[in-house]
Amino acid sequence: MIEAGSIAVLGATGAVGSELLRLLHARGVPEERIRPLASSGGTMVAYGEAMIPVEPVEAEAFHEACLAFMAAGAEAARTWVPIALEAGCDVIDTSSAYRMDPGVPLVIPEVNGAVLDRLGASPRLVANPNCSTILLLMALTPLQQVFGCGRIIVSTYQAVSGAGSQAMEALRRQSRAVLDGQPLDSDCFDEPCAFNVFSHDSPVDEVTGRNQEEQKMLQETKRIWGTDVLVSATCVRVPVLRSHTQSIHVELESAASVETLRSAIAEFPGVALVDDRAANDFPTPLKACDGDLVLVGRIRMAADATIDADGRGNRFELLCTMDQLRKGAALNALQVADRLKGG
Ligand SMILES: NC(=O)c1ccc[n+]([C@@H]2O[C@H](COP(=O)([O-])OP(=O)(O)OC[C@H]3O[C@@H](n4cnc5c(N)ncnc54)[C@H](OP(=O)(O)O)[C@@H]3O)[C@@H](O)[C@H]2O)c1
């Protein structure tokens, strides 16, 4: 558990920040130890049944804290992470600012949490991976550990909350407008998000044609696994409030059966199998929503698999989903903090 001392949450009014507050409250951290911060004060945030004031972020807040969660975007992280470290805080950053910095560990505790045990004394900085990378690696690390993964092709179905609390409000507002026969706006994304599906809203590289989300999945997977695995991703936004879904095609380095894949996945911490062919019961965003677990199912041999004499194959397909505000951001950050503090 996180020891005594105050805990700063920068971005406390946002989608990830409010989820962090929910999780801290659920763990019994008393209200007096929480410092909710944002760019300006004057608002209140829920902490369990209580409403607590949000303070405008200033260096002084980090001097009184032992731990700081950064959930305010990359630009704010570049400003406030050095200040928090200078003040002696351990810092967990949920943004992209430090993910590819070789001096900063990029951690999913179930996957590469051992790197945290090798860090020195406080203050320490740890980066949370992108939420799509977390989902992919929670689903595939059990296969990587047992069979090895050579090549991955993944298509994402990403919830609008991945773009923050304003995007959630846009989906609610636009959905009501459509049902009321009103014209659709596109004031949050370039495209309307209600009743629509569109290519991920991150910038597209003119040369490779990949958007930033697709590029992050490739780079972060290589960094976390420490291999040269190839990840070809197509990232797409769908009209879902929370929980990202992915359809994955994976080529294994040694042959396997569906049953051995199921066993490896079922034994992995933080993952649950939802894979009932007879009942057509598989992972959905609603089943994952508000939960801690990554759901994996629809595990099947790919049509282009090479099959050996024992009926085992080298290529498989599966579907997975995860509440990306929870395990994709807030829960992952909290698990990192627990491990840093020896909890
Ligand atoms: N949403 C997800 O699913 C998800 C998943 C993984 C990682 N992340 C990362 O988590 C971070 C937060 O994302 P979010 O979805 O929670 O965004 P959000 O809902 O837009 O919330 C952003 C929060 O940061 C505060 N903020 C913005 N600029 C600030 C600044 N310059 N100084 C201080 N506070 C500032 C905002 O409050 P004020 O505007 O009032 O200051 C708000 O509290 C981002 O880096 C994002 O990439 C998000």
pLDDT tens digit string along 185-234? Answer: 777 999 999 999 999 999 999 999 999 999 999 999 999 999 999 999 99
* Structural domain includes residue 1: no
Question: Does ligand 1 come within 6 angstroms of the Cβ of 162?
Answer: yes
Task: Calculate how far, in angstroms, residue 165's C-alpha sits from the geometric centre of ligand 1.
Answer: 8
| Residue 81, ligand 1, Cβ within 6 A | no
- Which of 9, 16, 99 is the pocket-test mutation for ligand 1 (most atoms within 8 Å of CB)? 16
Claim to verify: residue 294 and residue 184 sit in the same structural domain: yes
Is 131 marked active-site? yes
Atom number of ligand 1 nearest to Cα 76:
31
Instruction: Tell whether 334 and 319 lie within a shared domain.
Output: no
pLDDT at residue 1 is higher than 60: no
Mean pLDDT lowest among 186-200, 255-269, 317-331: 186-200
Annotation marks residue 25 as catalytic: no
Residue 185 lies in a domain: yes
- Regarding whether 172 and 265 lie in a shared domain, the answer is yes
Residues 117 and 164 in one domain: no
The confidence score (pLDDT) of residue 341 equals 85
78 pLDDT band (50/70/90 cuts)? Answer: very high
> Could you report the per-residue pLDDT of 44-71, keeping only the tens digit for each?
999 999 999 999 999 999 999 999 999 9
48: containing domain? 6-129+328-340
Are 79 and 137 in the same domain?
no
Q: Is the pTM of this model over 0.85?
A: yes
Count of domains for the chain: 2
Give the number of other CB atoms < 10 A from CB of residue 204: 14
CA-to-CA distance for 315 and 153, rounded, in angstroms?
11
| pLDDT of 183 | 87
pLDDT (tens digit per residue) in 105-128: 999 999 999 999 999 999 999 999
Q: 298 pLDDT band (50/70/90 cuts)? A: very high
In this prediction, residue 3 has a pLDDT band, given cuts at 50, 70 and 90, of low
User: What does DSSP say about strands 6-10 and 313-322: parallel, antiparallel, or unpaired?
Assistant: unpaired
How many Å lie between the centroid of ligand 1 and the Cα of residue 308? Answer: 49
Q: Whose CA is nearest to atom 20 of ligand 1?
A: 164
11 in contact with ligand 1, CB cutoff 6 A: yes
Residue 343's pLDDT is 61
pLDDT of residue 2: 61
Asked if 246 and 321 touch (Cβ cutoff 8 Å), the reply is yes
Count of Cβ atoms closer than 10 Å to residue 146 Cβ:
17
127: left (phi over 0), alpha (psi -120 to 50) or beta: beta
Element (H, E) at 8: strand 6-10
pLDDT at residue number 184:
82
* Ligand 1 touching residue 57 (CB < 6 A): yes
At 58 the pLDDT is 97
Question: Is residue 342's pLDDT more than 90?
Answer: no
Atom of ligand 1 nearest to the CA of 19: 16
pLDDT above 70 as % of the chain: 99
Mean pLDDT score of the chain? 96
Centre of ligand 1 from the C-alpha of residue 35, in Å: 16
Query: Residues 320, 188: one domain?
Result: yes
- Residue 5 pLDDT: 82
Write out the two tokens for 84. 């928090």
Residues 100 and 42 reside in one and the same domain: yes
What is the pLDDT, as a whole number, of residue 258? 98
Q: What gap in Å lies between CA 108 and CA 110, rounded to an integer?
A: 6
Residues 154 and 248 occupy one common structural domain: yes
Q: Is the CB of 8 under 6 A from ligand 1?
A: no
* CA max distance for the chain: 68
Same domain, 268 and 319: yes
Residue 216 lies in a domain: yes
Domain of 49: which CATH number? 3.40.50.720
Q: Which residues of 251-289 are buried (b: 16+ CB within 10 A; e: fewer)?
A: bbeebbebeebbebbeebebbbbbbeeeeeebbbbebbb
Say yes or no: 120 and 186 in one domain.
no
Region 299-315: mean pLDDT is 98
At a CB cut-off of 8 Å and minimum separation 6, what does 240 contact?
Answer: 157, 158, 159, 160, 285
Neighbours of 28 (CB within 10 A): 8
Which DSSP helix (H) or strand (E) runs through 93? strand 90-93
Ligand 1: residue of 62, 94, 321 to mutate (most ligand atoms within 8 A of CB) is 94
In this structure, the answer to whether residues 174 and 302 fall within a common structural domain is yes
Residues 154 and 85 in one domain: no
Check if 43 has its Cβ closer than 6 Å to any atom of ligand 1. no
Among 89, 131, 149, 320, the one annotated catalytic: 131
Q: The CATH number of the domain where 142 resides is what?
A: 3.30.360.10
Give the model's pLDDT for residue 41. Answer: 85
Ligand 1 within 6 A of 331 CB?
A: no
Distance from C-alpha of 87 to C-alpha of 17, rounded to nearest angstrom: 21
Instruction: Please indicate, yes or no, if residue 263 is contained in any of the structural domains.
Output: yes
Given a cut of 90, is residue 175 above it in pLDDT?
A: yes
Chain length of the chain: 343
Cis upstream peptide for 56 (omega within 30°):
no
Token output for 14: 């946002």
**Residue 230 burial (C-beta neighbours within 10 Å; 0-12, 13-18, 19+):** middle
Strands 149-157 and 244-256 turn out to be antiparallel
